[in-house]
Amino acid sequence: MILFDEERLHEYIKENKIQPFREKQILYELYKNQNISRDEMTTLSKDLKSWLAQNFEIINLTLEQLVETQDTTKFAFKTEDGHIIEAVLMFHWSKHFEWKLNRITLCLSSQIGCPMWCAFCVTGKLGLKRNLDWTEIVSQMLFVNNYIKKRFGKKEDGTLRAVRNVVFMWMGEPLLNYDNVKKAVEIMFRQDRFSLSRRHVTISTVGVISWIEKLISDKLECMLAVSLHAPTQELREKIIPNAKSTKLDKLMSTLSMYEKATWNRLFYEYIMIAGLTDWDQNAYDLISLLRGQNCHINLIPYNENPVMNFKESSISAINRFKEILEKWGLTVTVRDSLGREAKGACGQLGYEKLIGSH
List active site positions. 86, 346
Residue 275 is inside which H or E element, if any?
Answer: none
Q: Which long-range contacts (CB under 8 A, 24 or more apart) does 317-326 make?
A: 317/272, 317/274, 317/278, 318/272, 318/278, 320/280, 321/272, 321/278, 321/280, 321/282, 321/283, 324/280, 324/283, 324/284, 324/287, 325/283, 325/286, 325/287, 325/297
* 179 exposure class (CB count in 10 Å sphere: 0-12, 13-18, 19+): exposed
**CA-based torsion, 59, 61, 66, 70: positive or negative:** negative
Query: HSE of 342 in the Cβ direction (CA atoms, 13 Å)?
Result: 23
CB 136 within 8 A of CB 5: no
Give the separation between CA 243 and CA 152, rounded to whole angstroms. Answer: 42
Distance, in Å, from the CA atom of 236 to the CA atom of 247, rounded to the nearest integer, reads 10
d(CA 10, CA 187): 16
Please tell me the distance from the alpha carbon of residue 192 to that of residue 4, in angstroms, as a whole number: 13
